[in-house]
């Protein structure tokens, strides 16, 4: 029989469900994702570091966990909240259940809660910090939850503990998810790698599919740490540089902004998500925190150069301030839900960015053309 589990939000609201995954407590910024599939990619996406993720789709874990759908080396979320999880997945490639996967890596989950109600609260109040605990954990306290009075006492202790932890926006999560050393992505491809197209990917919290897609286009691909200097990167003789997605507030990452500022104009650069924000800040733009962010695989974005609308995969809580763009930098894509900037280009420099995930995983593959657009810029620059 499962233990009762609780999600306590910083506004004092409490949601009771059942524990699954690891028998431990956890805290983080509570956010929601509207995708219908792709929970394994969500769990292993480094952009979710420091966050408790709620999936709005009610049935999760139906196809289990497999060896192919990892987007990083481990689970990155701080906790996982679902309406219902499958204990008996059905898929030929499945190697474990969702519960077993979370438990194996020490990540707490809670199921049986009204995820729709929590999402509505976050949409109206904005994202906030949260704490997950269960009857079996000794944090915030080993209180037996046998009455409303003891439940209230345990929740008050959880809320007090939550008030003492760092806020999500005060932590540099990039340093906890980036690679420690440069490495090449040497997975075999049908297209031979060209040394003329050596592409560096600055790992701010990259998803493996960025490396897969570049390698599949014939590039020699190498990931480098977020702490690498401009000199370190240029010493590797790249034909172009991709600034990857990642977690956290770009305003905390001035060391990355400074590095990118020193790279601009030397080689073509593509920024994705956090990379887009970092590149924009390095050119003088401002960023701001969204009320509840964009997370899921169904966000409409318009490419202003063609007028075409793409359905995109997104995962970000911050955005570039379109009113702060300096001379020479212009928006190329906009979000049709709220009008926020979703892409940039520079009129004179080989620079392009997008706020959403051209690499998808999960999500539609409609925007992979942006990698082709970047590589055209790389080849034009080389010519």
| CA atoms within a 13 Å half-sphere pointing along the CA-CB vector of 324 | 14
User: DSSP letters along 308-338, please?
Assistant: -EEEEEEEEEEEE-GGGPPTTEEEEEEETTT
> With contact defined as beta carbons under 8 Å apart, do 312 and 364 qualify?
yes
DSSP 48: G
Distance from CA of residue 219 to its chain's centroid? 24
- Whether 299 is a known active-site residue: answer no
Answer positive or negative: Cα dihedral of 38, 44, 47, 49. positive
Token couple for 123: 């949409």
Q: Which residue has the tokens 């979710």?
A: 48
Tell me the C-alpha distance between 324 and 319, whole Å: 12
Catalytic residue among 29, 220, 342, 359: 359
Catalytic residue among 273, 299, 316, 342: 273
Tell me the C-alpha distance between 255 and 261, whole Å: 10
- Whether 261 is a known active-site residue: answer no
> What per-residue string of b and e applies to 128-152 under the rule 16 or more CB within 10 Å gives b?
bbbbbbbbebeebeebebeeeeebe
Tell me the C-alpha distance between 61 and 87, whole Å: 8
Token couple for 91: 């898929």
Catalytic residue among 99, 294, 299, 357: 357
3-state secondary structure of 288: strand
- Whether 359 is a known active-site residue: answer yes
Q: Which conformational region is residue 192 in: left (phi greater than 0), alpha (psi within -120 to 50 degrees), or beta?
A: beta
Residues annotated as catalytic are 273, 357, 359
């Amino acid at each position: 029989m499962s233990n009762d589990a609780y999600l306590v939000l910083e506004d004092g609201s409490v949601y009771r469900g059942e524990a699954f995954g690891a028998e431990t407590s956890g805290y983080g910024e509570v956010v929601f994702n509207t995708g219908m599939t792709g929970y394994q990619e969500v769990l292993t996406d480094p952009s979710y570091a420091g966050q408790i993720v709620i999936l709005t789709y009610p049935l999760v874990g139906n196809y289990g966990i497999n060896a192919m759908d990892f987007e990083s080396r481990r689970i990155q979320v701080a906790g996982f909240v679902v309406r219902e999880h499958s204990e008996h997945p059905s898929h030929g490639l499945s190697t474990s259940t969702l519960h077993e996967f979370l438990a194996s890596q020490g990540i707490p989950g809670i199921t049986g809660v009204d995820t729709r109600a929590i999402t509505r609260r976050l949409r109206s109040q904005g994202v906030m910090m949260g704490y997950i605990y269960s009857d079996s954990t000794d944090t915030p306290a080993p209180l037996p939850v046998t009455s409303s009075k003891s439940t209230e006492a345990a929740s008050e202790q959880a809320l007090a503990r939550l008030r003492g932890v760092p806020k999500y926006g005060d932590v540099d999560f990039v340093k906890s998810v980036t690679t420690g050393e440069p490495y090449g992505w040497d997975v075999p491809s049908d297209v031979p790698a060209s040394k003329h197209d050596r592409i560096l990917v600055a790992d701010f919290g990259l998803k493996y599919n960025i490396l897969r897609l570049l390698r599949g286009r014939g590039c020699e691909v190498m990931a480098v740490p977020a702490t690498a200097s401009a000199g370190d990167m240029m010493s590797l003789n790249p034909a172009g540089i991709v600034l990857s997605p990642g977690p956290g507030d770009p305003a905390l990452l001035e060391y990355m902004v400074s590095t990118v500022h020193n790279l601009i104009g030397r080689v073509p650069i593509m920024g994705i998500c956090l990379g887009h924000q970092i590149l924009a800040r390095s050119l003088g733009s401002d960023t701001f925190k969204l009320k509840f962010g964009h997370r899921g695989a169904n966000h409409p974005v318009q490419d202003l150069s063609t007028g075409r609308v793409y359905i995109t995969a997104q995962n970000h809580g911050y955005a570039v301030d379109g009113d702060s763009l300096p001379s020479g930098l212009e928006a190329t894509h906009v979000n049709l839900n709220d009008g926020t900037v979703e892409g940039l280009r520079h009129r004179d420099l080989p620079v392009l960015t997008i706020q959403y995930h051209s690499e998808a995983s999960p999500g539609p593959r409609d925007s992979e053309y942006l990698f082709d657009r970047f590589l055209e810029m790389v080849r034009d620059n080389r010519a």
